[in-house]
Amino acid sequence: LPQDIRNTVGNIPMEWYQDFPHVGYDLDGKRIYKPLRSKDELDLFLEKMENPEYWRTVQDRQTGADVRLSEEQLELVQRLQRGQFGDTNFDPYEPSVDFFSHEVRIHPVTNRPADKRSFIPSLVEKEKVSKLVHAIKMGWIQPWKPKENVPIFYDLWAREDPNSILGRHKMHVPAPKIPLPGHEESYNPPPEFLLSPEEKLAWEQQDPAERRLSFLPQKFRSLRAVPAYSRFIQERFERCLDLYLCPRQRKMRVNVDPEDLIPKLPRPRDLQPFPTTQALVYRGHSSLVRTLSVSPSGQWLVSGSDDGSVRFWEVSSARCLRAIPVGSVVKSVAWNPNPAVCLVAVAVDEQVLLVNPGLGDRLLVAATDQLLDSWEAPEEERIQPVRWIPAGPEERGKGIRLRVEHGKPVTQVTWHGKGDYWASVVRNPGSRQVLIHQSSRRWSQDPFRKSPGMIQCVQFHPLRPYFLVASQRSVRIYNLLRQELAKKLQSNCQWISSMAVHPAGDNVICGSYDSKLAWFDLDLSTRPYRLLRHHRRALRSVAFHRRYPLFASGSDDGTVIVCHGMVYSDLLQNPLLVPLKVLKGHAPALDLGVLDVAFHPHQPWLFSAGADGTLRLYT
């Protein structure tokens, strides 16, 4: 009986029905639907364990149904697995029938008549042979001769002409020939070539490498009287050493116009405005001025010096309006960037003073005092890393409103853009080094569980909730909201001294004590986009302008270099960095030059603080 195959689709790939609910059609043309397979791996495993017929059940590809194999089918599968024939009755070793027997029969096995081509010469072969004969006659085909095994000797120096190319050395240059003998080598030289006794003595005292001649010219009666040359073998050996050891190479010269190697940069006059000349000098400090800061209105300037005073200046007239003695070296000053608050942070020794300078709008000054005095102490005392101490009546008269005691020397203060939070850096290696404070709540905290190395300076990001921490060799960017490290920038510098963030927030510059300025493009890489080596001495300070595409660096060589740093809104275009002007004016003192630089908030003006005790304004 023929096997009952219900699916009538024929011998086709069953993958065609993969996305359909049916697998084909039966003899009546009705769809054969796939059986519902809702079993997961666990159900299949349980069925495998519990069903004793599981091992002999297979799935029919054509109908999708499970089929249990019969005993005959199992035996057929096992025979095929063992490499035997499927048919049990087939005998692979039965004796073969000898069709062509050794006995001579009277009838031939085949009685086909012979072909005509078997007894007529071939025209095709005749044509081929005639072509070969013609090629041999013309000499195109040479008869093969066996090679003679005779050793071939050749002259080593025969191919030493300048045009020959030795096999391995494509750049081979032939050795220079020995100069031909001159009149000095003659056995009977003219008298002017013979040396006088003084010249002979000088020749003998000379070092052999410095002698013009390696021998003394001599006069002989005849050629027969000339003795053997004593240095002959030595000179031959030196010549062989020259040939063998002196490298000779043909240098490829590329004719390049040096102008083509210099990048095409725009002319500085096309990139105006930028500061070019020294306009004002602010004199009054008796020692080096370490730090300066400009008010957000651009009307006032504050400076801190090693003479133990903080001075407030009017920018336009260079007049000193106030001088507050603080009794020790001022490491850092920072004017609050919020125009609605009149407050300056001053880092002195182990404390930070919050000073209200009392300059400008009286309403603004009163509102700032009211903001600081509106604080109410919480009911339960909170443990803080610093102590907030309100100023006494004498200090209030100077303008000091709050003292924040840190317990270790404070090296830097910097404000957040909103003007309420500020950060301080403490020189305390291996322990707490960075603190973030909130003035309105008088609350301080240590943001880091462990110290990320020796911290040089910190900055708040101008737009996003990021905090940038510069250690000795790298800059870490922390996300303050998520409280995690977002990025780590490798500076390729030995020791970072200062850092500034571009107002758009995507670029950072770092100055270093090994006289490099590294520009980082945060979207591009964690390595510097450009390393500028314009200064000859250590960089002390770097700054960006808030509104113009300018950045500046101050160095111990007493100069300030202003550069054009254009950042494009098109992300595919790299920043354009062009050095514009070297501003001179500060006289280096105590091996220090320019200690701090800052731009005016609105105008393309630059302030610098120097070791000569002056501040200078460049416009």
- What is the CATH T-level fold of the domain 276-375+383-618, as seen in this structure? Methylamine Dehydrogenase; Chain H (2.130.10)
Q: Name the band, by pLDDT with cuts 50, 70 and 90, for residue 164.
A: low
What's the pLDDT at 157?
A: 64
Query: E-assigned strands of 349-465?
Result: 351-355, 387-390, 400-405, 410-415, 421-426, 434-438, 443-445, 457-460
User: Mean pLDDT over residues 267-286, rounded?
Assistant: 87
Arithmetic mean of pLDDT over the chain: 86
What's the pLDDT at 3?
A: 43
CB-based contacts of 481, cutoff 8 Å, min separation 6: 465
Report helix, strand or coil for 363.
helix
User: Which of 65-69, 240-244, 450-454, 585-589 is the least confident region?
Assistant: 450-454
pTM greater than 0.75 (yes/no): no
The answer to whether the bond into 462 is cis (omega within 30° of 0) is no
Instruction: Give the span between the Cα atoms of 360 and 469, in whole angstroms.
Output: 34
Tokens matching residue 35? 């059986």
User: Mean pLDDT over residues 88-111, rounded?
Assistant: 78
CB-based contacts of 220, cutoff 8 Å, min separation 6: 187, 188, 226
User: Got the DSSP string for 50-114?
Assistant: H-TTGGGEEE-TTT--EEE--HHHHHHHHHHHTT--S-TT--TTPPPP-SS-SSPPSS-S--PPP
Element spanning 370, H or E:
helix 362-373
Considering the chain, what percentage of its residues have pLDDT values greater than 70?
95
What's the pLDDT at 448?
A: 82
User: Got the DSSP string for 272-323?
Assistant: -----SEEEEEE--SS-EEEEEE-TTSSEEEEEETTSEEEEEETTTTEEEEE
For residue 248, pLDDT over 70 is answered with: no
What's the pLDDT at 171?
A: 63
For residue 289, pLDDT over 50 is answered with: yes
Query: E-assigned strands of 298-420?
Result: 300-305, 309-314, 319-325, 330-335, 344-348, 351-355, 387-390, 400-405, 410-415
For residue 308, pLDDT over 70 is answered with: yes
What's the pLDDT at 601?
A: 92
User: Which of 98-102, 436-440, 485-489 is the least confident region?
Assistant: 98-102
The angle formed by the CA atoms of residues 328, 331 and 333, to the nearest 5 degrees, is 110
For residue 165, pLDDT over 60 is answered with: no
561 forms beta bridges with 553, 582
pLDDT of 205-235, one tens digit each? 998 888 888 888 989 999 899 998 888 898 8
For residue 292, pLDDT over 90 is answered with: yes
pLDDT of 332-390, one tens digit each? 999 999 888 888 999 998 889 988 888 878 888 888 888 888 888 787 778 888 888 88
Q: Name the band, by pLDDT with cuts 50, 70 and 90, for residue 1.
A: very low
Cβ atoms 540, 611 nearer than 8 A: no
What's the pLDDT at 130?
A: 96
For residue 320, pLDDT over 50 is answered with: yes
Unique residue bearing structure tokens 């030795």? 166
What's the pLDDT at 444?
A: 87
Q: Name the band, by pLDDT with cuts 50, 70 and 90, for residue 413.
A: very high
What's the pLDDT at 161?
A: 59
Among residues 278, 341, 287, which one has the least CA distance to residue 309?
287
pLDDT of 531-578, one tens digit each? 988 888 899 999 999 989 999 999 988 899 999 988 888 877 888 888
What's the pLDDT at 163?
A: 58
What's the pLDDT at 162?
A: 55
Domain residue extents for the chain: 1-63, 276-375+383-618
What's the pLDDT at 159?
A: 61
Q: What Cα–Cα distance (Å) separates residue 12 from each residue in 7, 15, 17, 64, 478?
A: 11, 9, 10, 15, 62
Query: What SS3 string covers 539-585?
Result: EEEEEECCCCCEEEEEECCCCEEEEEEECCCCCCCCCEEEEEEEECC
Among residues 251, 240, 245, which one has the least CA distance to residue 173?
251
* Torsion region of 360: left, alpha or beta (phi above 0 gives left; psi -120 to 50 gives alpha): left
What's the pLDDT at 253?
A: 75
What is the rounded radius of gyration, in angstroms, for the C-alpha atoms of the chain? 49
pLDDT of 115-134, one tens digit each? 888 889 999 999 999 999 99
Q: Name the band, by pLDDT with cuts 50, 70 and 90, for residue 414.
A: very high
For residue 483, pLDDT over 50 is answered with: yes
For residue 4, pLDDT over 70 is answered with: no
CB-based contacts of 572, cutoff 8 Å, min separation 6: none
* Cα dihedral 114, 120, 124, 125 sign: positive
